[in-house]
Chain A
Amino acid sequence: MSYYNEMFEGDRVRDPYARLRDWVETMPDDFRQMKQAEAEALFRRIGITFAVYGEGGDPDRLIPFDMMPRVFEQAEWRRLERGIKQRARALNAFLRDVYGRGEIIRAGRIPARLVYQNEAYEKSVVGVVPPRGIYSHIIGIDLVRTAKDEFYVLEDNCRTPSGVSYMLENREIMMRMFPQLFRNNRIEPVDQYPDLLRRTLESVAPAKCSDRPTCVILTPGHYNSAYYEHSFLANLMGVELVEGQDLFVDGEFVYMRTTTGPKRVDVIYRRIDDPYLDPLCFRPDSMLGIPGLMDVYRSGGVSICSAPGAGVADDKAIYTFVPEMIRFYLGEEPILNNVQTWTLWKDDDYRYVMEHLPELVVKEVHGSGGYGMLVGPKSTTEEIETFRLKIQANPSNYIAQPTLALSTCPTFVEEGIAPRHVDLRPYCLCGDRIELVPGGLTRVALRDGSLVVNSSQGGGVKDTWVLSE
């Protein structure tokens, strides 16, 4: 399999990386090691050690930071941006539809069963239209690149995608360590993200809110692996970071306890999952939520971002229908590709997958973090046969995809610099406008030849640049 190298085409350096070449090639080894140690010390000091994307693992482990940036030129980014925004619009249109009349199902474009019997489909919010009809306000779309102009979406994250603090901190640290680089390259900023996020949240305040909306971030608490990110964003946005016990329902609204008395809350950016939001509506044993919150939400007294029930749009089974959503709701052709997906509960798909295991990637339907998956081409015959037995025991628990030729970026390794595989998660904001900060989180598989970028499986992170014109 050949891989697209984002920096080199043979011996030629591609345009976006032209100015980085000298920087890399003239960097003395001891200087590089010194800087690497400095970066690590900075990350430790700010305390950003949590696992990306709720992958679990040791919460105090530092995720390796690679100093070699990943670079997009303006034209490449523009196309990506159009594709991401298109997807974000379609996903929100889908949510509006399936919690309303379900036209896409009536039209026979998506099987009813996949939606209405989906665990993430939330019966209690049927008919509730959130402000501006937006259900998913922060969408993290995971992408991989396979050629100059070829990008594939691996998954959409419509609930509470994490990792944006890495996008901001990676940039911050690069700027602090290599100010010269930022003078020599015209790099689009990403530090407006917290302001845009706040603006987005304020733009979806409920109609009953007449003043400047009060927004809060609701966290499960400091035991959560992404707690750092919650407090980081609250700080940068200038909003309160609250836990369930800091909020309460009184009459028609939700209030926050403050030293100067109760203060009404209009928009809750929640970083806790649906089942824990409100013990009166969901899990009665949840201690994290706010009793009565859902009644206030359903009667239009508060906005919740993302809206309860938004998860039905990013389910692995629904994923295969996103191109269909784009055609159905927007009347457009998808700009970004979906990865062909075989669902093993279908007989034909099952047969095909079992015959082609050595070529495919097989994932658990509800798995994440790179656990419980098979990367056919990178596995031994024995590993493949062991996995085959697991699939046979419970076929409907798996989906399969072709092994994608993930692009590589030059990465600092022991021996110097070498190509390593990368993915990308940009963060799209949806409110009165749809916004995309030019950048995102690039994850890199630090092990030679590895296609698994998850931090729990030896992945690291990089700063992601978008060059100005």
Chain B
Amino acid sequence: MKLRISHETVYRYDQPIRNLVQSLRLTPSVFEGQKVHSWTIDVSGGIRGPGFRDGAGDWIEGWTVRGPVDHVTIRIDGRIDTRDMAGVLRGHREMINPLTYLRDTSVTRPDPALRDLAFGITGTTDQLDLAHKLSAAVSDRIAFRPGVTQTGTTAAQALALGEGVCQDHTHALTALARLRGLPARYVSGYLHSTIDGQAHDAAHAWAEIQVEGLGWIGFDAANRCCPDERYVRLGSGLDSADAAPIRGIAMGTGAEELDVSVRVEEMPQ
């Protein structure tokens, strides 16, 4: 698919802020499923700082805004060709050993219920099959429902609640996979439309699980599928905070308000 992405994030501060420092993971990954035509990142009033590819293969860009400013806009405008790779992250260059992704974080730490769910899946010796079954288990046990969970909701809490959004599905799935000894990580990106053709228009997240012989494979438990040409991959981490596309800290004491708009449109051929 030829996709055009417009992603605007506006931070409004009730007191002007100074010395805002950001670390942005907002550039598409380089692998066989994606080819970028054009991609621009702009931060209003900002100075572009260091840019580099990290050990996970993600392009990171630092920005600073000296201020004082009462709002900051991060604008992404990009065009990209995507291909259906059946979820396989082929041709992605990275240096981090997969075993590093067996580690838990505070939001993926398993509780007895996650343990029961992970080890309740029996009768399979094939890693790929197991990964699919774990993903299906998450889809079955956590219904998609926005507004019931927050940024800090843990995998255990989401499972107990039985509802959540893509972040919760992804945390739960990474927790389950790690319990079964499969390295797993949180991936952030964009989604053009859900499988029923419904436009998505929000940032998206899914999991990747390391399967012997195949490498990293994406699983979107929130949508019961593997990522295909409707998905744009940005970067990964141990959990949502570690994989966050935008991180920033400013000097200032006031409250901030956040506005996000994402448009992922298919371009005419």
Contacts and interface: CB of A to CB of B under 8 A. Distances in A.
Interface of A: 99-100, 102, 105, 112-113, 116-117, 121, 123-128, 248-252, 279-281, 284, 291-292, 294-296, 298-299, 301
B51 interface: yes
Nearest to A284: B241
25 contacts: A116-B99, A117-B99, A117-B100, A117-B103, A124-B54, A125-B55, A126-B97, A127-B54, A127-B95, A248-B19, A248-B21, A249-B62, A250-B66, A251-B49, A251-B64, A280-B247, A280-B248, A291-B249, A292-B21, A292-B22, A295-B49, A296-B49, A296-B50, A298-B54, A298-B60
Given A121-B100, A126-B95, A280 B54 contact: no
B48 A251 contact: yes
Interface of B: 19, 21-23, 47-52, 54-56, 60, 62, 64, 66, 95-97, 99-100, 102-103, 238, 241, 247-249
Contact of B23 (A105, A121, A292): A292
B246 to A, nearest CB: 10
Nearest to A294: B23
A127 B47 CA distance: 26
Contacts of B50: 252, 295-296, 298-299, 301
A123 B58 CA distance: 13
Contacts of B47: 250-251
Given A117-B99, A292-B49, 20 more contacts: A99-B55, A112-B97, A117-B100, A117-B103, A126-B56, A126-B100, A127-B95, A128-B55, A249-B49, A249-B62, A251-B49, A252-B49, A279-B249, A280-B21, A280-B22, A280-B249, A284-B241, A292-B22, A292-B23, A299-B51
A126, A292, A296, most chain B CB atoms within 10 A: A292
Nearest to A295: B62
A296 B249 CA distance: 15
A250 B23 contact: no
A247 to B, nearest CB: 11
Nearest to A297: B50
A296 B61 CA distance: 10
B96 A126 contact: yes
A105 B98 CA distance: 13
B95 A249 contact: no
A276 B76 CA distance: 31
